[in-house]
Amino acid sequence: MQVVYRRCCGLDVHKDFITACVLVFNDRGEKEVRRKEFGTWWKELQRLKLWLYASKVTHVGMESTGVYWKPIWNVLRGHFQLVLANPYYVKNIPSDKTDPKDAAWIGDLLAHGLIRGSFVPPPEVEQWRDLTRYRVKLVGEYNRVHNRIHKVLEDANLKLDTVASDILGITGRDIVHSIIQGEDRPEWLADKARSRLRGKRDQLRLVLRGQITEHHRYLLRELMDDLERVEAKRIRIEVEIERRLLPQQALIERLVTIPGVEVVTAWTLLAELGTDMSVFPDADHAASWAGLVPGNHESGGKRHNTRTRKGNRWLRRALCQSAWAVTHKKNCYLTALFYRRARSHGIKKAIVAVAHHILIIAYHLLRDGGVYEEKGGDFFDRLNPQRTTKRLSQRLEKLGYDVILKPRAEAALQPPLPKRPRGRPRKASSMQVADNAPAT
């Protein structure tokens, strides 16, 4: 097998130590193996770097093991060509397994060009990731505290959620704070209603009559403190994200033109994908990396498992939320796509399909520039007007109607959309970018 890199190193990374194996190939193809073990603290990582320099190493490969690879990566970044491997793709033979043999195996795969490197964003994008992912954790903690407050109110027989859609809106918070201060009269609590809930004070008096104890007040006091603390932290994080991404405001404004994509989703797209789309060969690779493509498991001419692979769960989560938001829009191509897929494949697969299309569109917006151009909710009907007319006519006939069709003059003048070729769909067939829009 041809040697691609003549001087490379494989690292087997653990929490407290690193096993390094340098492979040196001469012109005759003979291999020299050099092994050494280092610690994972700063001074030892500097020794590792100097040892690699002394061995004239050009490429270094390592597995993505939790967070333990990051300190090594940060120290060696800029000094060597680094390759981060997915452990699933570089598994060694299970028998006779040791740390030196694992390091040698990684180095040997790297030397022959058999390791497919994972995407590692630049330091600035990594910082965006840390902030956006921490914000997701804070939102989750906020929801957990919200549910605990609801549980306490239910335990006190206060059915506030049957009248107010948000028990911690302006009215709900005023009512909870009044309960904490010792108020338990339904008339007084109902008088805290604001805005539209002012007209529902009679219902509030009924649902706010319960059995409130000092234990309930204590729990509500502690939980409201937690809620306000988490909420304040979330606001501070969002302000910091907005400040960090201020230079990318043009990209954010371009992304939010996609239906279902709000500012927070645009933050996530930039933090997870970055701004340089050249790291992905094409949009399909980006979708596969995010885990938004069907699985491919075929044997004996039969296709078995089509479940999506594990990908970037943070990006997948944000895009699926955007896909759910799209389902409520009117006269939207993505909405029509959802109902078209849901009819034949089910709701869950339809959501993944719409999330896949949103990612494809975002990829092209980031790579090529331009803005999203809406195709309309009747896009699929206009693909083949004759087939659509026949299908709708048959439905009316089944209901007992005689259907007589007469096209309008202006409708007859409109040509149908060009038919898509049969077979493998074109890449980015759902791409909707204005060609004449300037790129930034």
Structure tokens at 418: 């060009």
pLDDT at 436: 40
Please state the φ and ψ torsions of residue 375, each to the nearest 5 degrees: -90, -20
Structure tokens at 244: 């960090």
Please report, as a single letter, which amino acid is at residue 417.
Answer: L
Find where tokens 């569109």 sit. Answer: 361
Please state the φ and ψ torsions of residue 298, each to the nearest 5 degrees: -120, 135
- Name the helix (H) or strand (E) containing 124: helix 123-155
pLDDT at 296: 66
* CA distances for 243 relative to 90, 125, 247, angstroms: 40, 14, 8
Please tell me the distance from the alpha carbon of residue 151 to that of residue 220, in angstroms, as a whole number.
10
CA 432 from chain center: how many Å?
A: 21
Kindly list the averaged pLDDT for each block of 10 residues, start to end, along the chain of length 440: 89 93 88 92 95 94 90 93 87 77 91 89 94 96 96 94 92 94 92 91 92 95 96 96 95 94 96 93 91 74 71 92 93 93 91 94 92 89 86 90 80 59 47 43
pTM of the predicted structure, to 2 decimals: 0.83
* Domain architecture of the chain: domains with CATH: 7-111 (3.30.420.10), 125-244 (1.10.287), 252-297+306-440 (no CATH)
Please report, as a single letter, which amino acid is at residue 346.
Answer: G
Contact between 272 and 314 under an 8 Å Cβ cutoff? The reply is yes
Contact between 358 and 350 under an 8 Å Cβ cutoff? The reply is no
Please tell me the distance from the alpha carbon of residue 349 to that of residue 354, in angstroms, as a whole number.
9
pLDDT at 432: 47
User: Helix H segments across 280-439?
Assistant: 283-289, 313-326, 333-345, 347-368, 379-383, 385-398, 409-413
Q: What is the largest CA-CA distance in the chain?
A: 93
* CA distances for 421 relative to 213, 383, 425, 426, 429, angstroms: 70, 12, 8, 8, 11
pLDDT at 308: 76
CA 135 from chain center: how many Å?
A: 13
* Surface-to-core class of residue 287, CB atoms within 10 Å of its CB (0-12 exposed, 13-18 middle, 19+ buried): buried
User: DSSP 3-state assignment of 35?
Assistant: strand
pLDDT at 333: 93
pLDDT at 58: 94
